Structure 1
Amino acid sequence: MAAATKVVPAVIVGGGRVGKAMQEMGNGDDLLVKRGDSVPLDFAGPILVCTRNDDLEAVLESTPKSRWDDLVFVQNGMLEPWFHSKGLGDADQVLAYFAIAKLGEPPIDGKTDTNPEGLTAAFGKWASAVAARLHAGGLSCKVLDKDAFQKQMLEKLIWISAFMLVGARHPGATVGVVEKDFRSEVCNLITELAAAAAAEKAIVFEDGMDDRLCAYSRTVAHFPTAVKEFKWRNGWFYSLSEKAIAEGKPDPCPLHTTWLKELKVV
């Protein structure tokens, strides 16, 4: 079935680990655009944005407005408030549950013992094209509708926010060490953040989140931990806390707030 391996050519913004890996999965027809360079008007197909979150503003500025609905965001974290502030609405997104240790190395798929089919997911206009590209590279990828994708996105946000914060409390702890040695700590935080996210977004998560997130942590056990990209990660949960307190309500994430203050992040 030759047709199955046809990968839609894409503009790839960002030549880091993820951008290079995405290019490797293509058929050689992609256009790699370095951060800050202009995205061409006349290159049909998806525009895969593989930069750091803090570079998104610059990427948007160098992309013709008529092409904004072809942007596919491959970032971790909570992008929704930023999307809305830019009028991007339901922008295409990819949740990449694969790890690339070094530039040029093949990605390791985040298949876990609780989700052997893989956790990577895509949403939006170009979701099927992105999934086909990842499949061509030997990686799993599900195409989800908005509601299912949002739940998975929030779950990944909870993973990165919880594991990085607990790890930061134990200097030198990798993701694997957090999962093994500080599991009750991280699971308490996961439960708290999940309850806050579910209440804010009026959704119900599937049962067994802590098992799923701990299983994923075992596949990326070597990852170092640090509280980074605060605005895009823990900052979203902290904003829920600030909002509640300003309204005279109890903090929905008291443990999270306490630990952020303990580490002088806020």
Structure 2
Amino acid sequence: MPDLPRITILGAGRVGGALAAQSPIPADLVTREAGWEALDGPAGAPVVVAVDNAGLDAALARVPAARRPDLVFVQNGVLEPWLFEHGLQDSTRALLYFAVPRRGAAIEPGGTSVLTGPHAEALATWMRAMDLPVEVVAREAFTAAMLEKLIWNSAFGLLCQRFDCSVGEVLERHDETLAALVHELLAVGRAALGVELAAAPLLQRLRAYSRAIPTYRGAVKDWRWRNGWFVAAAAEHAIATPTHLALLREAGVDMAPKT
């Protein structure tokens, strides 16, 4: 086994707890209540930020300045505005293609996770030791992968909530609606991010990931980072998204701008 990096995990929720439990070497686990002294050590080792999007500001406020370059952000959604606001735009980023159905459950791999940034290789070594497939890419390729994961989260989360079903059941019962929704979100992502993704292969990959974790149930959450980002970007670029807006209304989603 290759030498593994010392890992600190900030956040003991579903993802952070599962990564700590399955880590091949002991990881320093920092919770809301305890463990912050682990961040007082020397810089240079990855710190996986596994809090939810709403908790990013509070978590960052407690991270010493010397350790901020070590932060690894694994959150879904469009983080770029927040990262630039805090001078963290060059941080290590990860798109995790696995599911943790509930707190305390084991990781369920569903695809190849994507990493970029200064600690990407170290994180890749650590994750491969847990038998989690991972790929290290350049920042530009990461942006394309981010849009793909963003579309998966936003589309399947909305359809799971609207039809009260799992991602596998979305494929079985609502595949035509899924295709229409993905085409709309892709058009918005292309215009807003300047990313080119072909629609047909994208749909195939999104379906394949969902088949790998068929019992997972998504929902509309992290509004301004996910579905809300698409609503705002569609308005900015004058792109019609009737399927997306109709499904949001039918799912009872509050579409008012949120800070």
Q: TM-score, normalised by structure 2?
A: 0.89
Q: Give the superposition deviation at 1:220.
A: 1.4
Q: What code does the residue aligned with 1:100 have? A: V
Match status 1:25 vs 2:32: no
Q: What code does the residue aligned with 1:27 have? A: I
Once the two structures are superposed, residues 221-253 of structure 1 have per-residue CA deviations (whole angstroms, 9 ceiling, x without a partner) of 111232122122101101112324xxxxx4342
What are the within-5 Å matches in structure 2 for residues 33-44 of structure 1? 33-35=30-32, 37=34, 38=36, 40-44=39-43
State the partner residue of 2:246.
258
Partners of 1:127 and 1:143 within 8 A in 2:
yes
Backbone CA RMSD of aligned residues: 1.8
| Structure 1: stretches of 5+ with no match in the other structure | 111-117, 245-249
Match status 1:211 vs 2:201: no
State the partner residue of 1:241.
234
Q: What code does the residue aligned with 2:123 have? A: V
Q: What code does the residue aligned with 1:50 have? A: A
Question: d(CA) in 2 for partners of 1:87 and 1:36?
Answer: 26
Q: What code does the residue aligned with 1:145 have? A: A
State the partner residue of 1:115.
none
Question: d(CA) in 2 for partners of 1:243 and 1:166?
Answer: 24
Q: What code does the residue aligned with 2:176 have? A: S
Match status 1:227 vs 2:220: yes
State the partner residue of 2:115.
122
Partners of 1:36 and 1:59 within 8 A in 2:
no
Q: Give the superposition deviation at 1:183.
A: 0.3
Question: d(CA) in 2 for partners of 1:179 and 1:90?
Answer: 37
Partners of 1:121 and 1:149 within 8 A in 2:
yes
Question: d(CA) in 1 for partners of 2:174 and 2:11?
Answer: 35
Q: Give the superposition deviation at 1:174.
A: 1.1
Match status 1:177 vs 2:176: no
Q: Pick which of 89-98 and 179-188 moved more.
A: 89-98
Q: TM-score, normalised by structure 1?
A: 0.87
| Structure 2: stretches of 5+ with no match in the other structure | none
Question: d(CA) in 1 for partners of 2:48 and 2:122?
Answer: 11
In structure 2, which of residues 179, 182, 185 is the aligned counterpart of residue 190 of structure 1?
182
State the partner residue of 1:146.
139
Question: d(CA) in 1 for partners of 2:235 and 2:191?
Answer: 15
- Secondary structure of the 1:94 match is strand
Partners of 2:153 and 2:218 within 8 A in 1:
no
Q: What code does the residue aligned with 1:74 have? A: V
Partners of 1:11 and 1:43 within 8 A in 2:
no
Once the two structures are superposed, residues 107-138 of structure 1 have per-residue CA deviations (whole angstroms, 9 ceiling, x without a partner) of 1211xxxxxxx421111100011111111111
Q: Give the superposition deviation at 1:36.
A: 5.7
Match status 1:101 vs 2:101: yes
- Secondary structure of the 2:197 match is coil
User: Percent same amino acid among aligned pairs?
Assistant: 36
Alignment coverage as a number of residue pairs? 249
Once the two structures are superposed, residues 191-227 of structure 1 have per-residue CA deviations (whole angstroms, 9 ceiling, x without a partner) of 1111110111112114510111011111111112321
Question: d(CA) in 1 for partners of 2:88 and 2:33?
Answer: 20
